[in-house]
Amino acid sequence: MQAYTQKIREAARRLLSEKKVDVVIGFRKGTIPFMNEPFLARNAEQAAQLYWDGNCGINLANYVTKRTDRVAVVAKGCDTRNLVTHILENQIPRENLYILGVPCKGMLDKRRIAAELNGREANDVEESDGKVLVKGRGVELTLDRGEYLQDNCSICIHRNPVLYDELVGELVEEQTNVDRYADVRRVEAMDPGERWQYFEDLISTCVRCYACRNACPACYCPTCFVDESRPQWVGKTIDPTDTRTFHFLRAYHLAGRCTDCGSCERACPMGIKVRQFTKKLEKDVKELFGYEAGLSLDQRPALDAFQPDDPQAFIK
Amino acid sequence: MHNPYLPYPVRIESVVTESEDRNQKTFKLVFLNPEDEARFRYMPGQFAELSVAGQGEIPIGIASSPTEKGFIMFTVNKVGKVSSHLHNMQEGDIMGVRGPLGNWYPWDTLEGKNVVIIGGGFAFTTLRSSIVYMLDPENRSKYGNIDVVYGARMPGLLLYKEELAAWEQRDDINMHITVDGTTDPNWKYNVGFVPTVTKEKAPSADNAYAIICGPPIMIKFTLPVLTELGFPPDRIISSLEMRMKCGIGICGRCNIGTEYVCKDGPVFTLEKLATLPNEY
Amino acid sequence: MSEIYIAREKLPGIVEQWMGRYRLFGPVFQGQYHEFEQVKQPGAVDLDFVNTKLSPKGLFHPQAEKMFEFTLDKQNPEAGILKEIPRDYSERVILGIRPCDARAFVLDDVNFNTNDIKDPWWVRRRECSTLVGLACNDPCSTCFCTSVGGGPFDTAGLDVLLVDVGDGFVAQAVTPKGEDLLAGIQGDPMPGEAPQKIEDLKKAAEASLGKAFQVESFTQKNMLDLFSDPLWEEVQFSCINCGTCTFVCPTCWCFDIQDEVSEDKGARMRLWDACMFPLFTYHGSGHNPRGQKLQRVRQRFMHKLKYYPDKYGNGVACVGCGRCVKACPVNIDIRQVARLMSDGCVCPA
């Protein structure tokens, strides 16, 4: 991680001082454990604040949307897939982007580690050699890093950037023996009543803060459907009908566009596993159209282009 | 405990389409309960929340004057959900009114002063209230000269046309009605933008206050004219608009810095506004 | 004011006794975290908690509540007329509230309960509630109550303060309401060392908090200078404009009013809103005085740390509970913002 940080700073300093880009978007070290803050470096001096570790789970593609300057962006595998999606959806031209690709080893799940700490507080966290060393008052834990990754990271098969201008480290080995849709199949196997209840329980604590939506690079509509007032599609209360409508529609808007970066789930203040919705649609799009979002600039997203051989089984 | 969120039920007594583009309608409302009318004691410059069950509420300046008894009057511009619905309502329909809300033009301070009223477009509502209030026989002697500059884009967009014509005939008020342009050969008033007409008519700043309401662009270009005429910032008074919900300084959205437009305003002097963030 | 000692094992009995006389609310473990809710089983109250995920403001200002009801049935002579709804204002006890959260109610009172305008629901709920606080022996690293005028043993807004002294709790009445509550309770003999223990716990807790920033160093600055400071450019970049900070915050009171209709029945609803949302200030004309993210981020911090203290002379509208620090998805830390407001920032041109 130290090495990544050094490489990112060097590259940013070079790009900014050579005026190859106007700004560099990366992370700076957070003020509390397991958090880093998205950061905009405007000059070579500020490049020294850039930072990288296993707490960079927020997707930085979210910060380049509709920018008109020349931007370098620090991007993990999933972030680069969202950059590809952005380019395909005309949210930023490729020539304005300089991608500092980060071969990713997965991001830490702060909630899982918090559960391990069982109410005690971490003050200091170090990552090294596949271990996470967590220190706090009256506690010192050495955890196997691989066991404490965000859910999406532990099943990720695109850790390496799919599009980049330079890499900040050696490419990592992609995971192969992962079951990407175990969760989805578990839900699919439920009977309708059970499934309905599962989703009702899942979102019962939702406060409608829209952190999931706003953390998502693919949610960039100028006016989101939940904010429309004429007509008003969704009520603003926390009535289950309204909350449900929000989550269902949000998920459908992401069908064939979601890269499973996990930003939504990471952002949720209530710890709701919102990927349970998007993951199902990701699986369906893959099965129906053989499409995975953001892997290639040469292929239109499955749901924004008609192909003569598209499946038509839904027409009955 | 009095519930400040609960509207008084009112009946729509009449609906008048004010402007040629049919975007402004004037609603005369009558309280269903006489005791509510007694509670609704207001001064020109205040506003109220018009409530339509099922649609919501909108903050609208009170266009009637407290000297007019038996009804209250609002001129509503059709913009959003509530106002569009209101435009389709009919005489006899029941709705609600909550208020009066906010502060008012400083009538105590204005006593013994000359008053210059400058209005543009459909922002003439509380100015109408003010004029009617000052012209009331009980009140007229309290104020000095009254000058009114009122402009609209074209003659058909002027509000309260009959009253304007009547005020033109009086000698205790100087009317300067203007339009940006017109093809009407019978137009007998001014042609020109409000700032230009204000400059031409040059109402004296001596012992005078100016009250100005209108679109931001009009205010922007009229303020330098008033300054040139010698009006200091503490004698230029304006009324602001903001998105509002509660109207009573609680729900938090209409602030400009420390001030809630709904409760601490909507009437501010230019002097006060200069101390606040430029965020309105 | 009276003081009684409650042995730890006696607490559930007292909770049960209160449940017979009052509606009782307290922290209940929800699987991942604690939240305040009405307690149905005496054993459900869990005072072994740091703090709840959401603040207890919802007990006084619910996220969504019906203000009025109405019918749109034209046959009904009352059609279109809003009607008040009966509400339960029977006496209730809120147990285990932290001093920071209780203090938030005092700060919010100046908004909801003024000399000329009173929010009836807030005022009535405040009146019918007796607040039993729990002192913080062990504040967490995101807590900063002592930097904003509070303290881990602060009694502002509380009727009773409980201090966990190990084998039991010392309950100190703070107000006549608190006296009334304690009067009905059979205490245990006060251990001789309890007063000293409380002093020691309080000192240790305060010492662990330190000062995150000096409030005066920015409240005394000129409002317009702070407003136009380049620090907001720096602070706003990472913000994603969600409502998380405002929803978890005990002093964020802003709300929306919306009508909801189903067939011919409807209700006027009051709903939490957030200055982070563009719609919050969006005019019908399309104009938006806070259309930019920077303006919204600035509004939130300026409201808490400058506008509020300027308007009410009541200190800053932040109690240092640290919920927003923990919950912000992108690590915007109000302590850091306060320091930038104090010192100015080395900000980009």
Residue A231 has pLDDT above 90, yes or no: no
Q: Does domain B107-239 have CATH number 3.20.20.60?
A: no
Q: In which band, very low, low, confident or very high, does the pLDDT at C182 lie, cut at 50, 70 and 90?
A: very high
Contact A209 C241 (CB under 8 A): no
CA-nearest residue to C274 within chain A is A209
Q: Residue B2: which of B42, B39, B33, B49 has the closest Cα?
A: B39
Distance from CA of C334 to the nearest CA of B (A): 19
Residue A25 has pLDDT above 90, yes or no: yes
CA–CA separation, C131 and C175 (whole Å):
10
- Test the A interface: residue of C249, C331, C336 with most A CBs within 10 Å: C331
Q: In which band, very low, low, confident or very high, does the pLDDT at C349 lie, cut at 50, 70 and 90?
A: very low
Mean pLDDT on A281-297 = 95
CB neighbour class for A124 (10 Å; exposed up to 12, middle 13-18, buried from 19): exposed
Identify the helix (H) or strand (E) that includes residue C16. helix C11-21
Q: In which band, very low, low, confident or very high, does the pLDDT at A291 lie, cut at 50, 70 and 90?
A: very high
Q: In which band, very low, low, confident or very high, does the pLDDT at C345 lie, cut at 50, 70 and 90?
A: low
Contact C72 B9 (CB under 8 A): no
Instruction: Tell me what percent of the residues of chain A surpass a pLDDT of 70.
Output: 100
Q: What is the DSSP letter of B157?
A: G
Residue B186: per-residue pLDDT:
92
Q: In which band, very low, low, confident or very high, does the pLDDT at C348 lie, cut at 50, 70 and 90?
A: very low
Mean pLDDT on C330-341 = 96
Residue C346: per-residue pLDDT:
54
Q: pLDDT tens-digit profile of C99-139?
A: 999 999 999 999 999 999 999 999 999 999 999 999 999 99
Q: Which residues pair with B255 in a beta bridge?
A: B260
Residue C24: per-residue pLDDT:
97
Q: What is the DSSP letter of C118?
A: B
Residue C42: per-residue pLDDT:
87
pTM: predicted TM-score of the whole model, two decimal places? 0.95
Q: pLDDT tens-digit profile of C263-289?
A: 999 999 999 999 999 999 999 888 999
Residue C286: per-residue pLDDT:
87
Q: pLDDT tens-digit profile of B124-137?
A: 999 999 999 999 99
Residue C347 has pLDDT above 80, yes or no: no
Residue C32: per-residue pLDDT:
83
**Partner residue facing A39 (CB), from C32, C238, C258:** C238
**Partner residue facing B6 (CB), from C68, C118, C303:** C68
Q: pLDDT tens-digit profile of C310-333?
A: 999 999 999 999 999 999 999 999
Residue A1: per-residue pLDDT:
66
Residue C344 has pLDDT above 80, yes or no: no
Contact A205 C278 (CB under 8 A): no
- Test the A interface: residue of C242, C256, C269, C282 with most A CBs within 10 Å: C242
ipTM of the complex: 0.94
User: Which segments in chain B show pLDDT lower than 50?
Assistant: none
CATH for the stretch B8-101? 2.40.30.10
Question: Which ranges of B54-121 does DSSP label H, i.e. alpha helix?
Answer: 81-87, 107-110
Helix B216-229, helix B194-201: angle, nearest 10: 20
> What is the residue extent of each domain of chain B?
8-101, 107-239
Query: Amino acid identity, residue B156?
Result: G
Residue A137: per-residue pLDDT:
84
CA–CA separation, A183 and A116 (whole Å):
22
Question: Which ranges of chain A does DSSP label H, i.e. alpha helix?
Answer: 2-17, 77-88, 110-117, 151-154, 182-188, 192-202, 211-214, 240-253, 263-267, 275-289
Q: Does C321 touch chain A (CB under 8 A)?
A: no
Q: In which band, very low, low, confident or very high, does the pLDDT at A265 lie, cut at 50, 70 and 90?
A: very high
Residue C303 has pLDDT above 80, yes or no: yes
